Amino acid sequence: MAAIIQGIGAATALTSANSLNTKKSLFANSRRSLSEKKGRLFVVRSDGRLSCGLNGRGGRAEQLITNAVDAKEDAAAASTSSKPGHELLLFEALREGLEEEMDRDPTVCVMGEDVGHYGGSYKVTKGLAPKYGDLRVLDTPIAENSFTGMGIGAAMTGLRPVIEGMNMGFLLLAFNQISNNCGMLHYTSGGQFKIPVVIRGPGGVGRQLGAEHSQRLESYFQSIPGIQMVACSTPYNAKGLMKAAIRSDNPVILFEHVLLYNLKERIPDEEYVLNLEEAEMVRPGEHVTILTYSRMRYHVMQAAKTLVNKGYDPEVIDIRSLKPFDLYTIGKSVKKTHRVLIVEECMRTGGIGASLTAAITENFHDYLDAPIVCLSSQDVPTPYAGTLENWTVVQPPQIVTAVEQLCQ
């Protein structure tokens, strides 16, 4: 606790597819013919709920589900009961990763509102306070700027704090600490201090949570020097990214989507840690590269079923690392498909998609046969009404249309 208190003072002191019609002339000669399109079949969940379930196989495209949150290939349709490992929901995988790191390293601690005996707003820290005590699992007042600064100061003195924002939108109150201290102190101190802190919490468009609780802060934080950003999308990568973020000597912001917490997956029994700067190849393909992350991964995979049945062969990449981008994996795909579609839930203006478009254009422009298309959320406050809320977020039918236009 003394280290934490010392740290307080230390921290204190120190819709886009339509644009193709006008831009296609820039890419008149396509390098790759789409005449030979593979007819791979996907098994895709057919309900809009969060629980992970696989339906039977079918040879024809089904109606697209606007709330789709999961989709898997045929190979994943086999029963998981015979596979090694254990099944966890995404929030349980986050907890398991956090608990393993707290067992391994006594300097790892957790702080935030209701993270202690209540177990966190989404139960990610449930059961940790009785096991590790109130000093390592610290309940804080409703004062985001203060406890974020306390966590940054604790990191400066040798601890590895995991700071939970009850909702990512609330962390706007701590923006000064995150930008001026968390991201910059290693540089401004001449390397005297490291800031091994993890900032995590739920965000994204939920189900009628209103504008203030539907924030996507990736675009806010991406411009801060010294900050790494990752977004989890499955129980497997949630645990692996949590462990990697805690072990990193850099400040890491871990984005979790509120609608993915109850997603279930079988993960390995043995320990594993993922690379914070590596994208995931979700589905290999030949005709178009679709880059996405977080919840939109499942909207893309829902659309992929229809695209495959129409004869297209999309390559789907979950970029996972929002800063820095894994340009090796992305570039390798672009050089193969020569077409790029970006699908994000972030806002269109100044979002991750805009930065990704710029990075691809700067590094792989000569390999593109068509202009990059970016599908993003509309630049409006997220409505409370469910039907209007759906209209503001990219839906699978829009992805299908964009790919069809992109591959003409």
pLDDT for 82 equals 59
**Catalytic site includes residue 299:** no
Using CA atoms, how far apart are residues 193 and 326, in angstroms rounded to an integer? 27
Encode pLDDT of 303-335 as tens digits: 999 999 999 999 999 999 999 999 999 999 999
pLDDT for 198 equals 98
Helix (H) or strand (E) holding 102: helix 90-104
pLDDT for 213 equals 87
Residues 346-363 as b or e (16 or more Cβ within 10 Å = b)? bbbeebbbbbbbeebeee
Using CA atoms, how far apart are residues 218 and 198, in angstroms rounded to an integer? 15
Tokens of 324: 């820095």
Using CA atoms, how far apart are residues 183 and 39, in angstroms rounded to an integer? 47
Using CA atoms, how far apart are residues 75 and 72, in angstroms rounded to an integer? 8
Task: Give pLDDT < 50 ranges for the chain.
Answer: 1-80
Q: Which of 113, 164, 213, 287 is catalytic?
A: 213
**Catalytic site includes residue 213:** yes
pLDDT for 206 equals 85
Q: Taking a C-beta distance cutoff of 8 angstroms, is the pair 93, 236 a contact?
A: yes
pLDDT for 45 equals 34
Encode pLDDT of 252-280 as tens digits: 999 999 999 999 999 999 999 999 999 99
End-to-end Cα distance, the chain: 62
pLDDT for 81 equals 52
pLDDT for 408 equals 86
Q: Which of 101, 144, 164, 218 is catalytic?
A: 144
pLDDT for 84 equals 87
Residue 136: helix, strand or coil by DSSP? Answer: coil
Check residue 369 and report its DSSP letter.
S
Using CA atoms, how far apart are residues 353 and 219, in angstroms rounded to an integer? 9
